[in-house]
């Protein structure tokens, strides 16, 4: 009877641990999905795990880009004086205390007692003084086997991990990996978004601006903060947000191309060429509209183009096609010198000073079909 009771007790304990792990996993994933900072996510993970094993302290350390050093990212229960003192020795390499060796070997390193482990000789007194006798370090590895960091568990008495501890460690390293890689991916996308040479604009399905990059903000003369929450209709000459969304939804994931006129903060008008597409959320439902915006011309430039005569436009098309003055003259039935005169007039009206700039102007503004 006692044996059966003990088994039932162990099974009940395992079920409680499993339920606790699943709940911890849910809370951590919710923090990741909410856009919380990496430090906040990792600290949430550490505190939840510490609740599952009394007397245990946890820490997550992150590796630097060169895979040479570690730093504490979340260790709320470790003494500050310990973290400051050990920081210079958080080197990834063989024969280093705990986490450094685990990261170097890419496998778990379980120190039963820091008082006797030779790897802890340089930090032995510091560890003992802070009640860190058992230290279990596990590397956090990406799918490409890159060291993202380490997860560490500390006890104030000498011991090795039990099966339950291994379960906690496995869950912790997997969740930490998800959080770190999500943050890296987000930072990469943010860098690409912010540094893109073309304007990029994100709106919700109601046409409210949720995000813009620097190029778009510069285009319309507002700061990104000023644009956030604005209706895109408030900075355009025509309100087509609803019609655009309907058209996009009918096209699925395909892009829709069009021209649009924006009104800058100073009141000037800028013509743009755009490509927009609906992007879904994690469930696959349409969530927002991503638009790439490229400047075509300003109102002044449009007025300048309108001032060109028919013959000047014909010459401009010839220049755009890469024809020589002689070839343009033959096609139009005029003298080559006249072509040069028309070209000079075009450049003066458009405030352009050399032929390459004239060609770039025409190409950027899609004038070929005028």
Q: Report pLDDT digits (tens) over 41-51.
A: 899 999 988 88
* Residues contacting 67, CB < 8 A, separation 6+: 92, 103, 146, 147
What pLDDT does 273 receive?
A: 80
Q: What is the CATH number of domain 307-369?
A: 1.10.10.10
Going by pLDDT thresholds of 50, 70 and 90, the confidence category of residue 227 is very high
What pLDDT does 310 receive?
A: 79
Going by pLDDT thresholds of 50, 70 and 90, the confidence category of residue 99 is very high
Residue 294 has pLDDT above 80, yes or no: yes
Q: The pTM is what?
A: 0.58
Choice between 26 and 298, residue whose per-residue pLDDT is larger: 26
Q: Which CATH number fits domain 8-192: 3.40.50.20, 3.40.50.920, 3.40.50.410, 3.30.450.40?
A: 3.30.450.40
In this chain, the answer to whether the domains covering 8-192 and 197-299 adopt an identical fold is yes
What pLDDT does 355 receive?
A: 72
What pLDDT does 82 receive?
A: 93
What pLDDT does 2 receive?
A: 47
317: tokens are: 């098309």
What pLDDT does 49 receive?
A: 87
* Residues contacting 272, CB < 8 A, separation 6+: 199, 219, 259, 260, 261, 262, 293, 294, 295, 296
3-state secondary structure of 189: helix
- Mean pLDDT, to the nearest integer, of 281-309? 72
What pLDDT does 153 receive?
A: 94
Domain definitions of the chain by residue range? 8-192, 197-299, 307-369
What pLDDT does 87 receive?
A: 92
CATH architecture of 197-299: 2-Layer Sandwich (3.30)
């Amino acid at each position: 009877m006692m044996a059966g009771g003990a088994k039932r007790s162990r099974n009940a304990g395992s079920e409680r641990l499993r339920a606790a792990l699943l709940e911890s996993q849910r809370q951590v994933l919710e923090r990741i999905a909410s856009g919380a900072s990496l430090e906040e996510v990792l600290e949430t993970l550490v505190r939840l795990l510490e609740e599952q094993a009394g007397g245990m302290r946890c820490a997550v350390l992150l590796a630097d880009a060169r895979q040479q050093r570690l730093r504490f990212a979340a260790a709320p229960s470790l003494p500050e004086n310990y973290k400051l003192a050990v920081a210079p020795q958080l080197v990834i390499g063989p024969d280093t205390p705990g986490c450094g060796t685990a990261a170097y070997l890419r496998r778990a390193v379980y120190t039963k007692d820091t008082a006797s482990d030779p790897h802890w000789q340089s930090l032995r007194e510091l560890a003992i003084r802070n009640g860190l006798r058992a230290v279990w370090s596990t590397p956090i590895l990406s799918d490409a086997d890159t060291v993202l960091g380490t997860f560490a568990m500390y006890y104030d008495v000498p011991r090795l991990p039990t099966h339950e501890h291994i379960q906690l460690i496995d869950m912790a390293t997997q969740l930490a990996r998800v959080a770190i890689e999500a943050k890296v991916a987000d930072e990469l996308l943010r860098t690409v978004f912010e540094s893109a040479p073309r304007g990029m604009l994100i709106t919700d399905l109601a046409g409210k601006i949720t995000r813009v990059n620097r190029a778009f903000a510069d285009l319309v003369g507002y700061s990104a903060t000023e644009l956030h929450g604005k209706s895109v209709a408030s900075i355009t000459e025509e309100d087509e947000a609803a019609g655009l969304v309907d058209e996009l939804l009918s096209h699925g994931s395909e892009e829709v191309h069009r021209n649009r006129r924006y009104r800058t903060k100073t009141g000037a008008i800028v013509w743009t060429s755009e490509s927009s597409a609906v992007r879904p959320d994690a469930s696959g439902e349409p969530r927002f509209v991503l638009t790439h915006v490229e400047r075509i011309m300003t109102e002044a430039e449009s007025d300048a183009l309108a001032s060109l005569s028919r013959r000047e436009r014909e010459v401009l098309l010839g220049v755009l096609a890469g024809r020589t003055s002689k070839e343009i003259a033959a096609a139009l039935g005029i003298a080559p010198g006249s072509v040069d005169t028309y070209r000079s007039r075009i450049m003066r009206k458009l405030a352009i000073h050399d032929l390459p700039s004239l060609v770039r102007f025409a190409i950027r503004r899609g004038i070929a079909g005028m």
